[in-house]
Structure 1
Amino acid sequence: MVDMRGVNTWQDELASLAENSGFQYTGEPISKMAAPPPILASTRMMESETETESLKEQVTGFLKSWGEMLVDLGKGCKDIVTQSNLVSEDSFIVQKLGKPMAKASGRLKYLNEFLPEDRDPAIAWPVILFVLLLALAAISGNSTNNSLVSSVKKMRVHPPSATRILLPDGRHMAYLEQGVPSDRARFSVIAPHSFLSSRLAGIPGVKTSLLEEFGVRLVSYDLPGFGESDPHTRRNLNSSAMDMLHLADSIGILGKFWVLGYSSGSMHSWAALRYIPDRIAGAAMFAPMINPYEPSMTKEEMRRTWDQWSSRRKLLYFLARKFPKFLPYFYHRSFLSGNHGRIDKWMSQSLEKKDEILIEGPMFEEFWHRDVEESVRLGIAKPFTEEAVLQVSNWGFSLADLNVQRKCLRNGILLWLRSMYSQEECEWAGFLGPIHIWQGMDDQAVPSSMTDYITRVLPRAIWHKLPNEGHFSYYFFCEECHRQIFSTLFGDALGPLNKMAEIDETSYEAVAEEASSITGSARK
């Protein structure tokens, strides 16, 4: 047999012919080859690069042509203005605007010093203004997009649900009762609400079981123009006290009642102590607000008070005192905008750590949203403006007037001589009942310096200092705090009355003893 090892097969011959072509035959069908030849792959890459470059050239050419068209348009407009004599000395525009523009240009000429020396101001300033307009447009566009992305909770309008009484002047007042019914109440408490609040506030988070345990009937009401109460265009603190008195008579409070004031709502409680002291059994104040412009405050008290507030809040107080017509602008951009927001931003106040934790909780948020929705039910700024003006205006009385003092009728020489030898023409004025004040020492909304002033002019007031507490943390949603408050005011929890005719003697026993002791000491 002939040895065939040295003879090349036809496969080897074919491989030798195509060794530099990039192909290699492996014996498999050509249709099953996984990758394209390198030559074809490189050809495709070149084609894609050519297409990309051509697109860039097209965009560049379009921008160049667009720029040339704008230049030609500008030249055409310039020629039209020149030929129409719009900028000549005899034209109407130059005669009316020439001198003011020349004067303004002369005053702003110093700005040219900030430009590079090789730049023509006539060209540089239009470019700067154009770029500024573009930047402002971009910023406004971004802010609009952000506002659309962020979820904003809208305020709801709830159907009327309040119980209302008719006042002597024809207005209606809405109120809310909590606790025990009138025929079983040992203690009746009336609570006017603070700014941007409503009758729904009362004592936020107080348990009905706790009110029943102490036999308390808690009544809160809407101030004029708030919630479902009718507005009162000529209201003041005297009329506020009269409204409270009419409410007490209308709902069957025959004897004395306690007043509860929180924050800015305290001024209505102070007014009740001043104008209807005979009907008030006692007062409970929580972070009580006074007039920040009170002239009898010392410089140190004034400084410590104003240093705690933000610039925006100082501005709102200034506007309320000097230019109240500007307040609706701020109100319509915050709580009258129809959207919900944070309480600290709307009230322009800083909060301490405990308050921050409280307002971020779901319980407070639910209460706050519902209370604000009820407060702004009418959707008008006038009641809020009136409330802000009342806060910073002359109240018509001073807190020092609440001190117990002997007042004699001395209108005339004969009455004066009679008062010198007789006690019949003299009477005791002021408020005889107890005044309790709870103040958070870390409160930045109502600084403790205000309570320093109150206790200085009202030495009989009992001050309960609350270390590490803020503006909301002690008064809102704290069952243990509420129990301590009721125990301080009313003593032991005796529950509601068992009989309708039973008279609560314990509620006024301490008041009577204190009043008699004060009267006896004053006579001595």
Structure 2
Amino acid sequence: MGSRESAAYVPVSRVRRRSARAQAPESPRAQARAPSAPRRDLVDWTQAQLADGRHDGRRRCHRAGQEGRNAGRHAFWRAQEAAASSARVLRGAAVQPDPAAAVEGPRRAGRASGDRAQNEAQGRQAPGVPGIRRPQGGGQGLLQELGIYLLSFDRPGYAESDAHPARTEKSIALDIAELADNLQLGPKFHLIGFSMGGEIMWSCLKYIPHRLAGVAILAPVGNYWWSGFPADVVEEAWYVQFPQDQRAVWVAHHLPWLTHWWNTQNLFHSSSVKGKNPIILSKEDTALSQKFLDRTYKEQVRQLGEHDSLHRDMMVGFGKWGWSPLEMENPFAGAGDEVKVHLWHGVEDLFVPVQLSRYISKKLPWVIYHELPTAGHLFPAADGMPDVIVRSLLLGDE
């Protein structure tokens, strides 16, 4: 009896495992009808393939972009080497009547020098003094009368002149001297600078005065942070500007790295000059503005983009200078009356308030100041005004 009891005892768990193994498998049709969980290894493999596809796509895009950048760099350096073998790409100050940029003219020293004889033979003038670009009206007669050869060129980042991200107010003056040497203009020459180019003339007076035979500064941009300006003068000039121009100038000085974004964003009004807002035109400027609108070269002026041209000008012009024009001594003190510096500004100028130039003229008695009561910013383009400026600079006419 004891043996039967021991033989009959089987744990329940063992019975259940045996019965599970003893069950017959379902038919293929039943298996097809029953929902089944996906195989884990198949899911992992599919996800891995998708991830590899995404990574491969990213790698291909990155590789294509890198190849494009490398090709661009190689083309750039090939062009640089070719240019270096023939002529230096110009960098320098603007001398044309454009409130924002330099305009047409010789781009490379070799080409400008080579074209001089051809220009003279064909009776053409080299573009240069504001408003005197082609043989029209009295400009050509004045050139022939005084035997003047005029030359203009593009500042860094404009038209065909290379961008120069590290440029300063000093580097531009040195570029002008180097350009004059490349063109064999002689030991001394006259300079005329307008607007941003006018501000550059102060740098030329400081760094290359020994190369200058005379300077005309036309409606120059002024830096509100130059030392030597009284607070009331700065405040008066500051509030002549429109609010959007105040903000643009403030950003260029305090947050230069934000200048490009500020002048291209659409959240706030950016610079009136950059945006060509007509509110910044005085009565006389409105009449003269068509001359600028009709320029055939205006699309070429900023072909390298606004960041390396106009915005870079703003960062340098309104940036932190290590010196101030108001603290300059007369660089021609030992030259008698041979070298003259003329400063011209219109009272109705809304691009560049006249108050800064007016105070500079009082602070620097060696500067001959011409204040035009009804003129705006574009006065150098007015009929007959180029002749007046040139005669004043070269002949001392008032």
Is TM > 0.5 for Structure 1 vs Structure 2?
yes
> Could you report, residue by residue, the CA deviation over 1:482-522 in whole angstroms, capped at 9, with x for unpaired residues?
222222122299xxxxxxxxxxxxxxxxxxxxxxxxxxxxx
On the 8 A contact 1:227/1:375 being kept in 2, the answer is yes
Q: Note the C-alpha offset of 1:251.
A: 0.8
TM-score (norm 2): 0.63
TM-superposition CA deviations, 1:444-476 (whole Å, max 9, x none): 22222111221122111111121211111x211
Which residue is equivalent to 2:225?
Answer: 293
> Matched residues in 1 for 2:287 and 2:275: separation?
15
Superposition map of 1:67-146 within 5 A: none
Distance in 2 between the 1:432 and 1:400 partners?
22
TM-score, scaled relative to structure 1? 0.48
**1:487 corresponds to 2:391:** yes
Q: Tell me which residue corresponds to 1:463.
A: 369
* Residue identity matched to 1:379: G
Whole-angstrom CA distance in 1 between matches of 2:310 and 2:162: 13
The correspondence for 1:365, drawn from 293, 313, 317, is 293
What's the counterpart of residue 402 of structure 1? 328
Corresponding position: 1:346 with 2:263: no
Between structure 1 and structure 2, the one with the greater Rg is 1
CA contact (8 A) 2:193 2:200 kept: yes
Question: What percentage of residue pairs aligned between the two structures are identical?
Answer: 26
The answer (yes or no) to whether the contact 2:94–2:155 under 8 Å persists in 1 is no
Relative contact order (alpha carbons < 8 A, sep ≥ 6): 1 or 2 greater? 2
Q: Check if 1:446 corresponds to 2:352.
A: yes
Aligned match for 2:285, one of 352, 355, 358: 355
> What is the correspondence of 1:131-280 to structure 2 with a 5 Å cutoff?
172-173=89-90, 191=95, 196-200=100-104, 202-206=128-132, 207-280=139-212
Tell me the secondary structure at the aligned position of residue 404 of structure 1.
Answer: coil
Asked whether the 8 Å contact 1:352–1:470 carries over to 2, the reply is: yes
Report the CA distance between 1:438 and its aligned residue.
1.4
Contact 1:282 1:433 (8 Å CA) reproduced: yes
2:243 and 2:278 map into 1 onto residues whose CA distance is 9
- How far the C-alpha of 1:227 sits from its partner, in A, is 0.9
- The one-letter amino acid of 1:486's match is V
Matches within 5 A, 1:301-316: 301-316=233-248
CA-CA distance at 1:388 after TM superposition:
0.9
Superposition RMSD on alpha carbons, in Å? 3.5
Counterpart of 1:463 in structure 2: which amino acid? Answer: Y
- How far 1:371 moved relative to its partner? 4.4
Structure 2, gaps ≥5 residues long: 1-81, 105-126, 133-138, 267-271
Q: Show the counterpart of 1:46.
A: none
Partner of 1:282: 214
Structure 1 residue ranges without an equivalent (≥5): 1-164, 176-188, 335-341, 407-426, 494-524
Relative to structure 1, the CA distance from residue 229 to residue 462 in structure 2 (aligned partners, 3 Å threshold; closer, same or farther) is same
1:306–1:432 Cα change, 3 Å: farther
How far the C-alpha of 1:193 sits from its partner, in A, is 7.3
How much does 1:404 deviate? 3.1
CA distance in 1, matches of 2:287, 2:331: 45
Whole-angstrom distance in 2 between the partners of 1:492 and 1:288 = 21
Check 1:190–1:321 CA distance in 2 against 1; reply closer, same or farther (3 A cut): closer
- SS class of match (2:217): strand
User: Do 1:258 and 1:281's aligned partners in 2 also have CA atoms closer than 8 Å?
Assistant: yes
